[in-house]
Amino acid sequence: MRPVRYAHPFSAAYWRAAAAESRDLRKVMFAALMIALCIVLGYLPAVTLPYGGRVTWGFLARALCGYVCGPVLGILFGFAEDILSFFLTGGGGYPFFFGYTLTTMLGVLLYALFLYRADLTVRRVFLAKLLTNVENVVLGALWMAILSGKAYLVTASASAVKNLVLLPVQTALLCALFALLLPYLKRAGLVPADTAARLRL
């Protein structure tokens, strides 16, 4: 019998399980629900932290989708969520740029690679958020350089400081979210039956 949880994503069985999620109607419906939640969370006011860091809320739904739906369906979710969010909200007055769609897709992929069908721990949540923040810095500065001509290193340095300030806050919010929802996700059959009902260290 194949395992329902995996220590790492570097196996064919892991990717077969991940691909199967895109054919699971319940997981597709969950991903659609997370898209709607991302759009709703986009209307919540951001919280400004010292050094210019701003806590927005969409990352909570994206991480949750990556955890439940896996990397294959997660990438599809990221594509659909970014496109729909842009056209439903008007993009905040900015023109559409596919680079930001790619950033969203890769972010959900990173969440999934660390969290999907894994033993959910604070360490895994932290590493997933750390890597998505690094991705935001590297790609965000690149997109700014392409769109506005701003110096890459200047933009990346400022973004790195902001993301470093955000990291512990975002990690704490994700840990709180998973600790709250894990029992319900398990009861609903959205995660493997042998998943621990509590977030571990």
Domain ranges of the chain: 12-187
Give the model's pLDDT for residue 196.
77
| 8 Å CB contact between 81 and 37 | no
- Whole-number Å distance between alpha carbons of 201 and 107: 23
| Helix or strand (DSSP H, E) at 55 | strand 54-55
Sequence-ordered list of residues with C-beta below 8 angstroms from that of 187, at least 6 positions apart, any chain: none
CA distance 166 to 52: 10
| Mean pLDDT on 164-171 | 96
pLDDT digits (tens, 9 = 90+) for 34-83: 999 999 998 899 898 887 788 999 999 999 999 999 999 999 999 999 99
Top-level class of domain 12-187: mainly alpha
Q: Which of 1-10, 12-21, 113-122 has the lowest mean pLDDT?
A: 1-10
